[in-house]
Structure 1
Amino acid sequence: MSEIRAAMGRLQQAQKSSKGAAAYSRYINRPLGRPMAALAYVMGMTPTQVTLVSAAFTLTGVALIATLPPEIWSSILVSVLLVLGYALDSADGQLARLTGSGSLAGEWLDHFFDAIKLATIHLAVLVCWFRFFDLPDGWLLVPLVFAASANVFFFGIIAADFLRRVHRLQHPQAPAETPREAWRSGGLYSLAVIPTDYGFLCLVFAVLWWQPVFVVLYTALAVINVLMLLLAAMRWYRSIRGLAIHV
């Protein structure tokens, strides 16, 4: 236990920036992943091994959405698996920073499994609705639209981050962020973007068994995420275009 406490203390000094992080990821998921990272460190696990365990939890939860009839116990199980998978997704990065063992290959693997879960979780909802829910066929468009929105959102984030990194390498004298972007570090922003947080979606699956409530919540999240994607796309474009101004 003393080793875990010591690792936890070191982890508190090895946290990445909270800029742009939604409230669940910022205040719940990262603290939840911290003891997991400490335990993995004591057990001698590598960040890649933690990533694989995270993927196993997440993909098991996704598979259960599509295969099990929604009941209270199965819905809670799905939510728990997804929450643990997401916490472990944070733990692998924390472990990498703690041990100084981060690598481009590890970052790629992390993003690879992120892409898999985003490409499958909404399709699993589609299968669930088709098999187990009594809904008109038109409702099946909701998880399809949500799947498209989630994947485009993920690409936009990754592409914008990649281009900013390239710009910083080409122009190391340029400021790290523009004043317009700096406000995203605040707590108000993290609360405003909760509906786009994958961790919040994980919690919503706890009511998968309650069809009318889940359909309303899931559809509302889908609509909000599409609107947020449109706003984010304009912001990403302006921020990338504005990089040349600050060279």
Structure 2
Amino acid sequence: MSTSPGPALGFGSSLALLRNAQKSSKGAPPYSLFVNRPLGRIFAAAAHQLGMTPNQVTYVSAACTLAGLLVLGLGPAGWGSGVIVAALLVLGYAFDSADGQLARLRGGGSLLGEWLDHMIDSAKVASLHLVVLVAFYRHFDLRPGWLLVPLAFAVVSAVHFFGMILVDLLGRARRAEAGVPAPPKESAELAKTLLKLPTDYGIMCVVFLLLGAHDLFFGIYTFLALATAGYTLLVVRKWRRDVVALDALAVPKPAASPVNPPQGAVR
């Protein structure tokens, strides 16, 4: 994380710089690409004007998400609650994008910041569906077997998130060992981007607007669970190919240390 002292740029200039300092759009699902990143960009520029650090923005993201989950788990499953839950989760997700963008604007992030961001994301990915389970149990007229849907969704989401993060981490580590530069930024293909729509966390946030229509919400939620499971099964095969390709990268071996010099050598 940069230790730059306060904003040297105005809001408009910060926003313009952030537009040219985005991560690759390859692999990003639609809501994240077309809604969340632009919204996070605005929050990042505003946070820069306030002199906030990326880690502080991460805490704001966590607070918004936690508030949304508390309303979902403790409040009624009606239209008003759904709007509040959706708004808080959308805000939390936007600030989750803003922390990384703010780090880039300040000149780079830190390992602590990356660790904190992934830890909070891991908690969010799993706990969201467990809180949905609580809401189903308290307010929905479902047979007990249907309560397995959010449990399965929690497992699938955790596996999908961990696999994505791990492949990225292994790739960066192996390329650094092999002295291979990071691949250039690539634009996302529209067809592949739309294919990831059901797995988009942002779409899950917006679906809570329908919380008051129990049957409709449960149907869409179950569809998203099945779509995420199917997509994860497909992408695991790609991740495996990526890791095999990383294994094939030649890593320079360190020079041997003459701990045991050959017989006859000068001692």
Q: TM-score range by the shorter chain?
A: over 0.9
Shift of 1:183: 8.2
TM-score normalized with structure 1 length: 0.93
Query: 1:240 — aligned with what?
Result: 243
1:94-243 equivalences in 2 (<5 Å): 94-173=101-180, 176=183, 185-243=188-246
Secondary structure of the 1:185 match is coil
Query: 2:43 — aligned with what?
Result: 36
Question: Which whole-Å CA distance do the structure 2 matches of 1:200 and 1:62 have between them?
Answer: 16
Contact 1:83 1:199 in 2 (8 A): yes
Question: Structure 1's 211 and 45: CA in aligned 2 closer, same or farther, altered over 3 A?
Answer: same
Counterpart amino acid of residue 137 in structure 2: F
Question: What CA RMSD, in Å, does the superposition of the two structures yield over aligned residues?
Answer: 1.7
Shift of 1:12: 1.1
TM-score normalized with structure 2 length: 0.87
Contact 1:66 1:124 in 2 (8 A): yes
1:56-107: CA deviations, max 9, x gaps?
0011101111111111111011000000100000001110000114101000
Contact 2:156 2:229 in 1 (8 A): yes
Shift of 1:174: 7.0
Question: Which whole-Å CA distance do the structure 2 matches of 1:166 and 1:21 have between them?
Answer: 22
Q: Which blocks of at least 5 consecutive residues in structure 2 are unaligned? A: 1-8, 251-267
Counterpart amino acid of residue 51 in structure 2: G
Question: Which whole-Å CA distance do the structure 2 matches of 1:92 and 1:224 have between them?
Answer: 29
Shift of 1:242: 2.1
| Fraction of identical pairs, as percent | 47
Question: Which whole-Å CA distance do the structure 2 matches of 1:213 and 1:190 have between them?
Answer: 25
Question: Which whole-Å CA distance do the structure 2 matches of 1:175 and 1:51 have between them?
Answer: 26
Question: Structure 1's 175 and 122: CA in aligned 2 closer, same or farther, altered over 3 A?
Answer: closer
Q: Which residue of 8, 11, 21 maps to 2:18?
A: 11
Deviates more, 1:10-19 or 1:145-154: 10-19
Contact 2:25 2:186 in 1 (8 A): no
Deviates more, 1:8-17 or 1:205-214: 8-17
Counterpart amino acid of residue 56 in structure 1: A
1:160-194: CA deviations, max 9, x gaps?
111111110121247738xxxx9883222111101
Question: Which whole-Å CA distance do the structure 2 matches of 1:193 and 1:187 have between them?
Answer: 10
Q: Which blocks of at least 5 consecutive residues in structure 1 are unaligned? A: none
Question: Whose Rg is larger?
Answer: 2
Query: 2:264 — aligned with what?
Result: none
Contact 2:31 2:202 in 1 (8 A): yes
Contact 2:54 2:102 in 1 (8 A): yes
Shift of 1:245: 4.0
1:180-211: CA deviations, max 9, x gaps?
xx988322211110111101100111101110
Q: How many residues get paired?
A: 242
Question: Which whole-Å CA distance do the structure 2 matches of 1:175 and 1:30 have between them?
Answer: 22
Secondary structure of the 1:7 match is helix
Shift of 1:149: 0.3
